């Protein structure tokens, strides 16, 4: 009887010791840490961390409290750092459900999960504030709400580069 009690006590103690470790998602923690501190003195809010993968922190696993379904940053010209302010990002999911969201002064846009939860795949298009310029995604997103996971800077074999409204011309200027 004493041996059984000792075994149970041991099992409970082990569970208590190991439980905190079982709840830590180290992959997520690493992804959050890799984003580094806030940039340029901009505090957490709608204008912070342009170009970073929003849903890493806003995906429900923290540390951000607001949960996004989709989020990203749009720039005016391919390869440039000027944000596309007031552009409209149109998201359409495979059921035909459409959501439009404007970009803010940092070029950032985000959609709250409570407002719109698209069924993947999704197709996206971004149009300038005056409607004169537009870019549509040539492919589609299959599962990732963070635009910057695929649209990383710089462009490379695993990244299309940041989202932009206008292609850069051959001489580096706007088309």
Partner 1 sequence: MRVGRLGIALAAASAAAACAFAWLGACSGVQQQRVGIDAPPSDDAVFGPVADMLVHRCGSLDCHGQPGRNLRMWGCDGMRLDPNEAPSCRKQQGGGPTTVAEHYATYRSLVGLEPNVMTAVYDGCKTSGGAYPPSPSCHPELLTFVQKARGIEAHKGGQLIDVSGVDGGPDPQDVCIVTWLEGATDKQACSEALLIPSFPVPPTPDASVE
Q: Which stretch binds partner 1 (CB under 8 A): 1-9, 65-73, 104-112, 131-139?
A: 131-139
DSSP characters over 144-170 = --BHHHHS-SS-BTTB--SEEEEPPPT
Query: Taking CB under 8 A as the rule, which mask of x and - marks residues 138-167 in contact with partner 1?
Result: xxxxxxx----xx----xxxxxxx-----x
Helices (H) and strands (E) in the chain, counts: 4, 7
Nearer to partner 1, 114 or 155 (CB): 155
Q: Is 98 in the site for partner 1 (CB under 8 A)?
A: yes
How far is residue 84's CA from residue 105's CA, in Å, rounded to a whole number? 8
Q: Which residue's CB is nearer to partner 1, number 20 or number 96?
A: 96
Rounded Cα gap, residues 53 and 147, in angstroms: 6
- The nearest distance, CB 134 to partner 1, in angstroms, is 4
132 near partner 1 (CB under 8 A): yes
**What binding mask, one character per residue, do residues 107-126 give for partner 1 by CB under 8 A, x or -?**
-------------xx-x-x-
A 10 A CB-CB count for 168 gives: 14
d(CA 73, CA 162): 8
Residue 136's beta-bridge partner residues?
125
Which tokens belong to 89?
């990002």
Residues that bind partner 1 in the complex, under the rule CB under 8 A: 78, 90, 92, 94-96, 98, 120-121, 123, 125, 127, 131-136, 138-144, 149-150, 155-161, 167
């Amino acid at each position: 009887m004493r041996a059984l009690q000792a075994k149970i006590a041991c099992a409970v103690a082990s569970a208590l010791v190991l439980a905190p470790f079982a709840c830590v998602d180290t992959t997520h923690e690493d992804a959050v840490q890799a984003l580094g501190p806030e940039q340029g003195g901009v505090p957490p809010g709608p204008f912070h961390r342009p170009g970073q993968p929003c849903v890493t922190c806003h995906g429900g696993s923290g540390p951000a409290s607001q949960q996004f379904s989709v989020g990203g940053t749009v720039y005016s010209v391919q390869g440039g750092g000027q944000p596309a302010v007031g552009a409209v990002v149109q998201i359409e999911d495979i059921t035909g459900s459409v959501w439009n969201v404007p970009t803010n002064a940092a070029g950032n846009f985000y959609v709250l999960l409570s407002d719109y939860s698209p069924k993947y795949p999704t197709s996206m298009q971004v149009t300038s504030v005056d409607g004169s310029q537009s870019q549509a995604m040539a492919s589609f997103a299959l599962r990732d709400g963070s635009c910057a996971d695929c649209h990383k800077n710089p462009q490379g074999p695993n990244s299309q580069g940041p989202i932009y409204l206008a292609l850069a011309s051959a001489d580096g200027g706007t088309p």
